[in-house]
Structure formats: structure tokens, C-alpha cells
């Protein structure tokens, strides 16, 4: 045999071998359900490029092809999966309820798992479990109730009654209005946000809650949160920020504290607007509107909100760790003033709401992202990134002045436009919400938050951030980009919102559904003190940038990491709160 013929045979052999070794296409999908009215996408990964104009088919449970579409152009994210090709199969226009799967290729072809399309699918399927998750997170075991009836203030012999509330995470039974206050720009909203989110759902989708037989349960759970905040309001009119367990199994170790890095505690436990105080006021003023009594009378909730607001108007910067207000004070104080304005129609709260809305308007940069401080630090947030827009939208529920509305609407539009732009300016097959941040003096864009930040140590998965941005896209979009049908917003915003929630529910590179006991793949169970731990309907932290990368580049998800796996696997109150707001917006009753 000639050398030439041997080369041809070897070439054919290796070509055949490569063909046989090619992996089948991989399908990434929302593992829970797709809302019939909403945007719907499945991501397909292949080791080689598909031919141009490759189609996909939607097949129902009876084997009938009900929809045919074209895959998107190929997309690549080398820092996540070098050399892989990703495609989007978009079937948003298909709205018929039923059970389906995606087929690519002739005959049987490559097929995805089965999935369901249903009207208000996520709200119907998951809201009862989200409510049940919070109910199980109550700090209501006999041990906790006894200990919390007389919790010692840090550095004092004085005790206070702080019974109630919810345990913060599946690995932490502490109770927070907010933590990371010392870092000034990273404070998340915790127990007060949960309460406000529940009241929002009660007021926004009461018919749906009644249909699901959870209306009374949602009201009662919100009252549970409000009652805790009432106890946390000191006689001096500030809120106690944290009941900290020190991760100690002894309930007597619990203290009311301020918290710094590495569990260092202080007596700086007074909550500023940005440290949970603003959202606590907003929650108490909003739950007053339900005219329901918990352990306290409805009127007492409003009276407490007024007291706390008056106190923070005078003392807020005393409680801010750096003595300066920033964007988080603005959007939390805007929420507080708005809810008080809605509840009372007082010009005092109107004027304060307008002041805070104007502050947010002034923080809009020419690029389209918010500025967090009085300088040039971009606002980024691992949990509440959508909250400036959400706060402005809630303010516009009450504001009728034309000039004030125009200014706020302009800010909302710029923020949403930028979110779409920064997310789409690189190949992004999963539509993951990208963000701008300052890293070592330079503003840059990335998928995940920088690990090197003001906290000195804290970074984790960002599922709460995704829920907050989905919420902002939907409720903000209805104000600045309204459209009839679907979710009531333009296509790009509907897709953006859908991508964030789908990522949480399994349409991500690890095919992990972060809502516990839903979907095909879940994180392991995490236990905690006093019998608490992971609960069905709770949402884990999620995916991060590569562990070793201080700028948050790359991608990582770890089930085990020598005790640090909490960054990815731990359930946390804000994730489910923002998810609840997002699916409530999807199911909003016209």
C-alpha cells in the first residue's frame, strides 16, 4: 500500500473516530415549568458547530410536532467552557399548555428532558412551597423562643425581647435586619425585605393566592415578620439590627450585636436606613394597609413606622458606619417614605419620598448605571441590584406630579436600557445579568461580583440579585416599555427576566436547580441548629466567579470546599424573597 493511500485511510479513520467521540448535544433548561405568557428559551451546547439555519422542534407528549423554530447563531463563553458552542432555542411565541420536549435533528434526533408549559406556571407550582419554606424558617422552637425572650445586648447586662423572625440561612440561625453594615456599600436587606415581599404579593395577586389556598397563610407569615420588627424597635425608636448566634449551639450565647468581618461583634446594633431600618419602616407601613392584626394591632404597625422614620431622619448618619449616606440609604429611605405616604397621604412623607427619588435620579451615570457614593463607584449588589428601580416603581404608584414622574421614569428607563446593554455586549447564551463594578481603580464589566470588595471576605452566589433584576425588568418595563399581552413588557425585557429566573431553576452551566426539592438536580441538604436546615422552596446562593479570581471572572460552583461550600449551596432568606417578587410580577393581576 502506498504512503498516499495509507494517509487517506488514516485520515478517514481519525475523522470517523472524532465523529464517534463527539458528545451528544446538551440541553440546559428551566427544570420547573415555563409560563405560557412569558419568554421561553432552552440553551443547547454542542462540541461542534451546527449547520447554519439548524432547526429545533417542540414535540408534545403524544409525539406530535407542535412548533418548529431556528436555533440562534452560535455563542461562545470561553471563560466558562472553552471551545464549546452554545445555541438558544426560543419558543416564546408558543403558548399552548402541555408537556413538551425539544428535538434537534432528523428522526428521533437529540432530545431534551420533558418540561411543562402552563399559565402562571411558576407562581402556581412554587409559591405555596416558598411560603412553606419561610414558615419552617421561623425561629419558633421552644429553645429559641425561650432564649430570645431575653436576649442580652452586646456589652451590657440589659436584655430585650426579640422573639420571632426567621433564621437567616440553612446554616445560620442568626436573625438579621441586614449584615455587612461595616462595608457600607454591600448591606443586603433581609427580614424586612421578606416581610415587604409577602405583603406585596398579597396586594398584587390576591386572586391567585386565594386560588392556591395560601392567601391567609401569606398574610399570617407577613404578620410574623412584622411582629418581630415591632419587638426589634427599641424604646429609643431605633431597630436592633442583629440577633447573632455566634454559630454556637448554646442558645444563651445569642447577643444583639453590630457585626464586622469574621464574626467580630460590637455594640453598634442600631439599624440605619440602609441597614434594614428603611425596609422595616416600609414593611410596617405597608402591612398596616392590610388592616390585619397579629400580636400587635394594625394601627400599632403604622405608629411604629412613624416613630422609627422620625428617628432616622435625625440620626441616620450616626448609624451609618462611615457617617455618610449612599445609594442604599436612598432606596431604602425611599421605600420607607413611599409606604408612609401611601398609608397616610401626609405631605411630610411625600416630600421625603420626592427627595430620595431625586437623589436616585442624580445618581444615574451617563453610562446608565447608578453611582453608589458621592464619587464614581458604580452601584453593584450581590442581592438587591434591582432595588433602586423597584423603589422608584413603588414610589410611582403614589406620585401623580407630572415633572416628578417624568424624572423617575427617565431614570428607570436608563437603568433598564443599561442592564440590557451590559448583558448583551458579549456572547451570553444563558442571558445571565452582567454588571459594572470598580476593581482596583478601574470600572469593568463582568458576570459575577468581584471577590475582592469592601467586605474583605464576603462573596457568594447571586440568585437574589437575579430575582431582583427580573422584578425590576418586569415592573419597571411596564412603566417605560409597556406592551399588550405576555408579561406586559417589550420582548427584550421579558427575555431578560425569564433568563434570570430560569438560571435559578436549572438553566445554568451546572444544570443545577437551586430551589430545593424542585427540578432534576439539587444541592445537598444542609443542617443547622435547633432542627433548622434546608427546606423545600428555599433557594441556595448559586454560582460565582472562579474561586481563585479576585475580579469574579470565570465560573465556579462547589458542593464541597472544606467548610466554604456555603458560598454556593446555602439557602438564604433574600433569594426566595426576590424570587417571590419576580414570579408575583409575572402573575400580576391586571
Q: Name 85's bridge partners.
A: 46
∠ at Cα 454 (450, 458), nearest 5°? Answer: 65
**C-alpha–C-alpha distance, residues 121 and 562, integer Å:** 38
- Listed in sequence order, the DSSP H helices in 181-297 are 191-204, 206-211, 215-232, 277-288
Low pLDDT (below 70) residues in the chain: 1-23, 107-108, 590
Dihedral of the CA atoms 192, 195, 197, 203 (nearest 10)?
Answer: -140
Angle between helices 191-204 and 215-232 (to 10 degrees): 150
Please measure the distance between the N-terminal and C-terminal CA atoms of the chain and give it in whole angstroms. 78
Task: Render pLDDT for 84-112 as a digit per residue (tens, 0 to 9).
Answer: 999 999 999 999 999 999 999 876 689 99
What CATH code is assigned to 26-118? 2.60.40.10
CATH class for domain 121-586? mainly alpha
The string of DSSP codes covering 344-371 is: H--HHHHHHHHHHHHHHHHTB-TTSSBB
- pLDDT of 18 reads 37
- Give residue limits of the domains in the chain: 26-118, 121-586
Helix (H) or strand (E) holding 124: helix 121-136
**C-alpha–C-alpha distance, residues 139 and 162, integer Å:** 10
- pLDDT of 588 reads 85
∠ at Cα 251 (247, 255), nearest 5°? Answer: 75
**C-alpha–C-alpha distance, residues 518 and 124, integer Å:** 13
- pLDDT of 22 reads 55
Judging by DSSP bridges, how do beta strands 34-35 and 115-118 pair with one another?
Answer: parallel
Three-state SS for 468-511 is: HHHHHHHHHHHHHCECCCCCCECHHHHHHHHHHHHHHECCCCCC
- pLDDT of 105 reads 85
Sign of the CA dihedral running 335, 340, 341, 347: negative
**C-alpha–C-alpha distance, residues 120 and 135, integer Å:** 23
**C-alpha–C-alpha distance, residues 33 and 55, integer Å:** 23
**Chain position carrying cell 386565594:** 210
Amino acid at each position: 500500500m502506498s504512503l498516499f493511500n495509507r494517509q487517506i485511510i488514516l485520515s478517514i479513520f481519525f475523522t470517523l473516530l472524532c465523529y464517534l467521540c463527539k458528545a451528544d448535544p446538551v440541553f440546559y433548561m428551566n427544570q420547573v415549568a415555563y409560563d405560557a405568557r412569558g419568554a421561553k428559551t432552552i440553551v443547547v451546547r454542542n462540541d461542534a458547530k451546527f449547520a447554519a439555519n439548524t432547526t429545533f422542534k417542540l414535540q408534545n407528549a403524544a409525539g406530535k410536532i407542535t412548533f418548529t423554530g431556528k436555533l440562534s447563531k452560535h455563542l461562545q463563553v470561553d471563560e466558562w467552557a472553552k471551545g464549546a458552542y452554545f445555541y438558544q432555542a426560543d419558543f416564546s411565541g408558543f403558548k399552548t399548555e402541555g408537556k413538551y420536549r425539544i428535538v434537534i435533528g432528523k428522526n428521533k434526533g437529540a432530545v431534551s428532558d420533558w418540561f411543562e408549559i402552563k399559565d402562571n406556571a411558576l407562581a402556581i407550582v412554587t409559591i405555596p412551597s416558598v411560603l412553606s419554606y419561610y414558615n419552617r424558617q421561623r425561629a419558633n422552637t421552644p429553645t429559641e423562643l425561650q432564649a430570645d425572650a431575653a436576649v442580652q445586648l452586646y456589652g451590657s447586662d440589659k436584655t430585650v425581647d426579640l422573639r420571632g423572625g426567621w433564621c437567616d440561612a440553612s446554616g445560620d440561625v442568626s436573625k438579621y435586619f441586614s449584615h455587612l453594615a461595616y462595608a457600607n456599600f454591600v448591606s443586603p436587606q433581609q427580614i424586612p425585605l421578606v416581610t415587604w415581599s409577602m405583603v406585596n404579593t398579597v396586594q398584587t395577586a390576591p386572586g391567585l393566592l386565594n386560588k392556591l389556598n395560601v392567601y391567609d397563610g401569606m398574610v399570617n407569615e407577613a404578620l410574623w415578620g412584622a411582629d418581630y420588627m415591632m419587638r426589634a424597635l427599641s424604646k429609643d425608636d431605633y431597630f436592633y439590627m442583629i440577633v447573632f448566634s455566634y454559630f454556637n449551639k448554646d442558645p444563651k450565647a445569642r447577643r444583639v450585636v453590630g457585626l464586622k468581618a469574621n464574626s467580630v461583634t460590637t455594640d453598634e446594633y442600631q439599624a440605619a436606613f440602609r441597614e434594614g431600618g428603611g425596609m422595616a419602616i416600609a414593611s410596617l407601613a405597608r402591612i398596616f394597609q392590610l388592616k390585619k392584626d397579629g400580636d400587635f394591632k394594625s394601627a400599632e404597625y403604622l405608629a411604629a413606622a412613624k416613630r422609627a422614620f422620625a428617628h432616622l431622619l435625625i440620626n441616620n448618619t450616626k448609624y451609618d458606619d462611615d457617617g455618610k449616606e449612599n445609594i442604599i440609604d436612598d432606596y431604602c429611605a425611599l421605600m420607607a417614605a413611599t409606604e408612609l405616604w401611601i398609608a397616610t397621604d401626609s405631605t411630610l412623607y411625600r416630600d421625603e419620598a420626592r427627595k430620595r427619588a431625586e437623589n436616585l435620579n442624580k445618581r444615574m451615570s451617563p453610562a446608565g448605571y447608578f453611582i453608589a457614593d458621592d464619587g464614581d463607584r458604580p452601584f453593584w449588589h450581590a442581592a438587591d441590584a434591582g432595588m433602586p428601580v423597584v423603589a422608584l416603581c413603588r414610589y410611582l404608584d403614589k406620585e401623580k406630579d407630572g415633572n416628578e414622574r417624568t424624572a423617575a421614569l427617565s431614570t428607570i428607563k436608563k437603568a433598564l436600557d443599561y442592564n440590557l446593554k451590559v448583558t448583551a455586549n458579549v456572547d451570553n447564551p444563558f442571558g445571565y445579568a452582567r454588571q459594572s463594578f470598580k476593581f482596583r481603580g478601574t470600572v469593568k464589566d463582568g458576570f459575577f461580583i468581584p471577590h475582592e470588595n469592601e467586605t474583605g471576605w464576603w462573596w457568594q452566589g447571586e440568585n437574589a440579585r437575579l430575582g431582583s433584576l427580573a422584578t425590576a425588568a418586569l415592573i419597571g418595563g411596564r412603566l417605560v416599555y409597556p406592551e399588550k399581552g405576555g408579561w406586559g413588557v417589550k420582548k427584550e425585557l421579558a427575555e431578560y427576566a425569564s433568563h434570570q429566573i430560569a438560571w435559578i431553576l436549572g438553566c445554568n452551566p451546572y444544570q443545577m436547580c437551586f430551589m430545593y426539592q424542585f427540578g432534576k438536580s439539587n444541592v445537598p441538604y444542609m443542617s443547622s441548629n435547633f432542627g433548622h436546615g434546608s427546606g423545600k422552596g428555599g433557594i441556595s446562593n448559586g454560582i460565582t466567579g472562579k474561586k481563585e479570581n479576585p475580579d469574579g471572572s470565570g465560573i465556579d460552583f462547589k458542593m464541597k470546599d472544606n467548610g466554604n461550600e456555603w458560598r454556593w449551596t446555602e439557602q438564604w432568606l433574600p433569594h426566595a424573597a426576590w424570587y417571590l417578587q419576580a414570579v408575583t410580577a409575572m402573575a400580576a393581576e391586571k
